[in-house]
Amino acid sequence: MPTRAVVAGVGMTAFGKHLDRSLKSLAGEAIREALADAGLETGDLQAAYMGNAAAALITGQVCVPGQVVLRALGIGHIPVINVENACATAATAFQQAATMVAHGVHDVVLACGYEKLYHPDKKKTFEVFSGAIDVEDKEHVLAEVARAIEAAGGLSDIDNAGQNRSLFIDIYVTWALRLMSEQGITREHFAMVSAKNSVHGSLNPKAQYRDVISVQEVLAAREVAWPLTLPMCSPVGDGAAAAILVSERKARELGIAAPVRVDATILRSGWDYADGEIGMAEASARELYELAGIGPQDLDCVELHDASAPSELMYYEHLGLCGRGGITELIEQGHTRLGGRIPVNTSGGLMRKGHPIGATGLAQIVELTDQLRGRAGPRQVAGARVALAENGGGFIGRDAAAIALTLLSR
């Protein structure tokens, strides 16, 4: 019978532009910080799940990126599992590590996500995102995205997708237009999300962007692809995040007085669902709540995959933070701000904290662990006891290719 894994320690670099640093340097910093936080040494690790998505294209490192990082820290002998799962890479590494601990395979496991996305040749970076779809079906994917944009009344500029911007920007445009046509969401609502997250990010010393921007400034910013402006989209970035997971027995041995426990964590891939069937995110969230024996009303804070402002609004509904048609009230009334009913993306989210794709999911875990331990400083959610992380990645058919969700509690 599985028990629950415990998050004994977390670590994270500042996210941003680190052209002068290597993957080994970034990952090493996060791992050392997580080990110190847990009060453990490198020799205590029994396995490592190492998440990276873009090294093959950006740095040329293939096949053994995790072993390369760990050997530089003097870590060998243990099983090292290299994980690649689009933007859900780090969350997948965490989910696999937590599952192995919960089932008693190991007592002490490292989960790490690390990434470099900045490159002197921007097209190299865009290639990473263009590869997160079915590349054998790329022309059809582009045609379907263009069709969806035009059907919603937008202007398609698909020729530039993957050239002067990430292909996923155009996918986010389709989501934005759908929200606008079906639920009365406006560009002002998207700007409210960006402005809210800028306030949160300004309080996070490890966030990529720490300036506070207003709704008006978001709307006046450079347009990436209508209706999205630059602050409505997550930036590329470099960075790393790590967590040390231990068994409940090991947690007692370490004397962890108020452990942060993994109540439930699931990993799912997309499927070809019929019209009218609920999508992957909503179905996965329902499954997660059932596994943990709680509901969305029990959550104190959430870190979700705001790769764009429309993405955050969509996930409000998918995760059950509001009912159908309740998105506008949630953002207009400030319920997802610090001090609100259910603070979302207190770290600043992907749009302000940054989005080094192989590290993002574990950065969410770092933020929520800090919240549950009461050490988030000026962005602390008072009395936080239950937290949810949602991290998705890739795109196949009409949905993300992968999603990982985790519920933590103390």
Residues facing residue 87 across a β-bridge: 85
The reply to whether 355 belongs to the active site is yes
Amino acid at 260: V
CA 307 to mean position of chain CA atoms? 8
Give CA separation, 171 vs 127, 157, 167, 168, 182, in Å. 15, 12, 7, 5, 17
Give CA separation, 325 vs 84, 185, 328, in Å. 35, 10, 7
Instruction: Please give the Cα distance from 173 to 261 (Å, whole number).
Output: 37
The residue with tokens 């409505």 is 232
Task: Write down the catalytic residue from 87, 233, 301, 322.
Answer: 87
Q: Are 365 and 93 in contact (CB under 8 A)?
A: no
Tell me the angle at which helices 309-318 and 187-202 cross, rounded to the nearest 10 degrees.
Answer: 90
Contacts of 288 (CB under 8 A, 6+ apart): 264, 265, 266, 388, 405, 406, 407
Amino acid at 206: K
The reply to whether 233 belongs to the active site is no
Q: Which helix (H) or strand (E) holds 21?
A: none
Task: Write down the catalytic residue from 119, 200, 335, 355.
Answer: 355
- Rounded-to-10 torsion of CA 385, 319, 146, 349: -10
- Strand blocks (E) in 237-383: 239-246, 260-269, 301-303
CA angle at 53 for the pair 50 and 56, rounded to the nearest 5°: 105
Question: Radius of gyration over alpha carbons of the chain, in Å?
Answer: 20
The residues annotated as belonging to the active site are: 87, 355
